[in-house]
Protein backbone atom coordinates (compact mmCIF):
# COMPACT_ATOMS: atom_id res chain seq x y z
CA UNK A 1 0.00 0.00 0.00
CA UNK A 2 1.50 3.27 -1.13
CA UNK A 3 2.30 5.94 1.45
CA UNK A 4 1.61 9.42 0.09
CA UNK A 5 3.26 12.71 0.94
CA UNK A 6 2.57 14.24 4.34
CA UNK A 7 0.08 17.10 4.43
CA UNK A 8 -0.24 19.78 7.10
CA UNK A 9 -3.67 20.07 8.72
CA UNK A 10 -3.94 23.85 8.52
CA UNK A 11 -5.99 25.51 11.30
CA UNK A 12 -8.65 27.97 10.21
CA UNK A 13 -10.61 28.54 13.41
CA UNK A 14 -10.41 27.06 16.89
CA UNK A 15 -11.67 23.52 16.60
CA UNK A 16 -11.58 23.46 12.79
CA UNK A 17 -9.10 22.35 10.17
CA UNK A 18 -8.48 22.55 6.44
CA UNK A 19 -6.82 19.68 4.63
CA UNK A 20 -4.61 20.86 1.83
CA UNK A 21 -1.31 22.64 2.55
CA UNK A 22 1.86 20.63 2.03
CA UNK A 23 3.99 20.17 5.14
CA UNK A 24 7.55 21.38 4.71
CA UNK A 25 9.06 19.57 7.69
CA UNK A 26 7.71 16.86 9.97
CA UNK A 27 9.82 15.20 12.64
CA UNK A 28 9.02 11.53 13.00
CA UNK A 29 6.63 10.72 15.83
CA UNK A 30 6.32 7.62 17.97
CA UNK A 31 3.16 7.43 20.05
CA UNK A 32 2.55 5.52 23.27
CA UNK A 33 -0.80 4.98 24.95
CA UNK A 34 -1.05 6.54 28.43
CA UNK A 35 -4.73 5.88 29.15
CA UNK A 36 -7.60 4.11 27.45
CA UNK A 37 -11.11 4.43 28.85
CA UNK A 38 -13.67 2.38 26.94
CA UNK A 39 -17.41 2.86 27.47
CA UNK A 40 -16.70 6.30 28.83
CA UNK A 41 -20.28 7.51 28.99
CA UNK A 42 -21.28 4.34 30.82
CA UNK A 43 -18.97 5.50 33.63
CA UNK A 44 -20.86 8.77 33.99
CA UNK A 45 -23.95 8.76 36.16
CA UNK A 46 -26.42 11.63 36.32
CA UNK A 47 -24.77 12.90 39.49
CA UNK A 48 -21.09 12.22 38.85
CA UNK A 49 -18.48 13.21 36.26
CA UNK A 50 -15.62 11.23 34.77
CA UNK A 51 -12.39 13.08 35.50
CA UNK A 52 -8.71 12.31 34.94
CA UNK A 53 -5.50 14.32 35.33
CA UNK A 54 -2.23 13.91 33.44
CA UNK A 55 1.23 15.31 34.14
CA UNK A 56 2.59 16.63 30.83
CA UNK A 57 5.46 18.87 29.67
CA UNK A 58 2.83 21.63 29.40
CA UNK A 59 1.69 21.20 33.03
CA UNK A 60 -1.08 19.20 34.63
CA UNK A 61 -3.92 18.67 32.16
CA UNK A 62 -7.27 17.62 33.60
CA UNK A 63 -10.12 16.34 31.45
CA UNK A 64 -13.67 16.14 32.80
CA UNK A 65 -16.83 14.89 31.11
CA UNK A 66 -20.16 15.10 32.88
CA UNK A 67 -23.74 14.45 31.90
CA UNK A 68 -26.22 17.31 31.92
CA UNK A 69 -29.52 16.61 33.64
CA UNK A 70 -31.73 19.00 31.66
CA UNK A 71 -29.84 18.75 28.37
CA UNK A 72 -31.24 18.06 24.94
CA UNK A 73 -29.64 15.39 22.79
CA UNK A 74 -27.35 17.91 21.07
CA UNK A 75 -25.73 18.94 24.35
CA UNK A 76 -25.93 15.81 26.46
CA UNK A 77 -22.36 15.89 27.82
CA UNK A 78 -20.15 18.79 28.93
CA UNK A 79 -16.40 18.49 28.34
CA UNK A 80 -14.06 20.75 30.32
CA UNK A 81 -10.25 20.77 30.21
CA UNK A 82 -7.89 22.57 32.57
CA UNK A 83 -4.18 23.32 32.47
CA UNK A 84 -3.20 23.44 36.13
CA UNK A 85 -6.03 25.58 37.57
CA UNK A 86 -6.95 27.46 34.39
CA UNK A 87 -9.85 26.35 32.22
CA UNK A 88 -8.48 26.09 28.68
CA UNK A 89 -11.26 24.34 26.75
CA UNK A 90 -14.89 23.31 26.86
CA UNK A 91 -17.49 21.93 24.50
CA UNK A 92 -20.77 20.04 24.50
CA UNK A 93 -21.18 16.59 23.01
CA UNK A 94 -24.41 15.05 21.71
CA UNK A 95 -25.98 11.77 22.73
CA UNK A 96 -24.62 9.01 20.46
CA UNK A 97 -25.27 5.33 19.91
CA UNK A 98 -22.65 3.14 21.64
CA UNK A 99 -21.26 6.09 23.65
CA UNK A 100 -17.80 7.68 23.77
CA UNK A 101 -14.29 6.49 24.56
CA UNK A 102 -11.15 8.34 25.64
CA UNK A 103 -7.43 8.03 25.05
CA UNK A 104 -4.38 9.91 26.24
CA UNK A 105 -1.30 9.41 24.04
CA UNK A 106 2.26 10.68 24.24
CA UNK A 107 4.44 11.54 21.28
CA UNK A 108 7.74 10.26 22.65
CA UNK A 109 9.88 11.84 19.93
CA UNK A 110 8.44 15.34 20.38
CA UNK A 111 7.60 15.09 24.11
CA UNK A 112 3.97 16.13 23.64
CA UNK A 113 0.73 14.71 25.04
CA UNK A 114 -2.55 14.46 23.14
CA UNK A 115 -6.07 13.46 24.09
CA UNK A 116 -8.74 11.68 22.06
CA UNK A 117 -12.49 11.77 22.62
CA UNK A 118 -14.28 9.59 20.11
CA UNK A 119 -17.52 7.92 19.18
CA UNK A 120 -18.42 5.93 16.11
CA UNK A 121 -19.74 9.15 14.57
CA UNK A 122 -16.73 11.41 15.22
CA UNK A 123 -13.19 11.33 16.62
CA UNK A 124 -11.18 14.36 17.78
CA UNK A 125 -7.55 14.78 18.81
CA UNK A 126 -6.81 17.56 21.31
CA UNK A 127 -3.56 19.05 22.56
CA UNK A 128 -2.38 22.05 24.54
CA UNK A 129 -1.10 24.98 22.48
CA UNK A 130 1.33 26.95 24.66
CA UNK A 131 1.49 29.89 22.25
CA UNK A 132 -2.29 30.29 22.21
CA UNK A 133 -2.71 29.37 25.88
CA UNK A 134 -5.53 26.92 25.17
CA UNK A 135 -6.36 23.42 24.02
CA UNK A 136 -6.64 22.96 20.26
CA UNK A 137 -8.56 20.43 18.23
CA UNK A 138 -5.71 19.28 16.00
CA UNK A 139 -7.68 16.56 14.21
CA UNK A 140 -11.43 16.23 13.62
CA UNK A 141 -12.49 13.14 11.68
CA UNK A 142 -15.32 15.09 10.03
CA UNK A 143 -12.72 17.06 8.08
CA UNK A 144 -11.40 13.88 6.42
CA UNK A 145 -12.75 11.77 3.59
CA UNK A 146 -13.82 8.26 4.54
CA UNK A 147 -13.10 5.74 1.82
CA UNK A 148 -15.35 3.23 3.56
CA UNK A 149 -19.15 3.36 3.19
CA UNK A 150 -20.66 4.26 6.57
CA UNK A 151 -17.11 4.50 7.89
CA UNK A 152 -16.93 4.84 11.67
CA UNK A 153 -14.11 6.97 13.06
CA UNK A 154 -11.30 6.12 15.47
CA UNK A 155 -7.97 7.69 16.48
CA UNK A 156 -5.54 5.32 18.15
CA UNK A 157 -1.83 4.48 18.50
CA UNK A 158 -0.77 1.19 16.93
CA UNK A 159 1.63 -1.36 18.36
CA UNK A 160 4.47 -0.08 16.16
CA UNK A 161 4.14 3.48 17.49
CA UNK A 162 2.14 5.06 14.65
CA UNK A 163 -0.93 7.17 15.40
CA UNK A 164 -3.76 6.65 12.92
CA UNK A 165 -7.16 8.04 12.14
CA UNK A 166 -9.18 5.16 10.74
CA UNK A 167 -12.59 4.74 9.18
CA UNK A 168 -14.19 1.30 9.18
CA UNK A 169 -17.37 -0.57 9.85
CA UNK A 170 -16.70 -1.92 13.35
CA UNK A 171 -18.96 -4.93 12.71
CA UNK A 172 -17.07 -6.00 9.56
CA UNK A 173 -13.97 -8.13 10.20
CA UNK A 174 -12.81 -8.10 6.56
CA UNK A 175 -9.80 -5.91 5.58
CA UNK A 176 -11.40 -2.65 4.54
CA UNK A 177 -10.19 0.05 6.92
CA UNK A 178 -9.26 3.47 5.48
CA UNK A 179 -6.34 4.95 7.40
CA UNK A 180 -4.56 8.26 7.79
CA UNK A 181 -1.15 8.34 9.46
CA UNK A 182 -0.86 11.29 11.89
CA UNK A 183 2.42 12.93 12.90
CA UNK A 184 3.33 16.07 14.80
CA UNK A 185 5.25 18.76 12.89
CA UNK A 186 7.47 20.38 15.53
CA UNK A 187 8.30 23.36 13.32
CA UNK A 188 4.74 24.15 12.24
CA UNK A 189 3.44 23.10 15.68
CA UNK A 190 0.51 21.31 14.14
CA UNK A 191 -0.48 17.85 12.95
CA UNK A 192 0.34 16.43 9.54
CA UNK A 193 -1.40 13.52 7.89
CA UNK A 194 -0.63 10.95 5.21
CA UNK A 195 -3.53 9.25 3.41
CA UNK A 196 -2.62 5.55 3.53
CA UNK A 197 -5.65 4.46 1.54
CA UNK A 198 -7.94 1.48 2.14
CA UNK A 199 -7.61 -2.28 2.51
CA UNK A 200 -6.27 -2.47 6.07
CA UNK A 201 -7.53 -4.95 8.69
CA UNK A 202 -9.69 -3.70 11.57
CA UNK A 203 -7.62 -1.31 13.66
CA UNK A 204 -8.52 -3.13 16.89
CA UNK A 205 -6.17 -5.93 15.81
CA UNK A 206 -3.16 -3.60 15.91
CA UNK A 207 -3.99 -0.85 18.40
CA UNK A 208 -2.32 -0.38 21.79
CA UNK A 209 -4.34 -1.29 24.89
* Mean pLDDT calculated for residue range 168-180: 81
Closest CA to 170 of 201, 124, 139, 209: 201
Rounded Cα distance between 180 and 1, Å, is: 12
| Residue 140 in this model has a pLDDT that exceeds 60 | yes
Q: What is the CA radius of gyration of the chain?
A: 16
Q: Tens of pLDDT along 18-57?
A: 344 444 344 578 999 999 999 887 778 666 789 999 999 9
Backbone angles phi, psi at 58, to 5 degrees: -95, 5
Could you tell me the strand order of the sheet in which 59-67 lies? 49-56, 59-67, 77-83, 86-93
* Mean pLDDT calculated for residue range 87-114: 94
Q: Tens of pLDDT along 66-84?
A: 988 765 655 689 999 999 9
pLDDT tier for residue 179 given thresholds of 50, 70 and 90: very high
Amino acid sequence: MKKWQKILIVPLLAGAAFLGAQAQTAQASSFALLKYQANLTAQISKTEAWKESFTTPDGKITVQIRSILAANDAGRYHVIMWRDDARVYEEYLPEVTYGYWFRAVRDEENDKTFFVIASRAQAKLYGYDAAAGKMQVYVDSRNFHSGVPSGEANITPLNGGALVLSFENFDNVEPHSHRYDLEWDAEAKWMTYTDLGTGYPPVMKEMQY
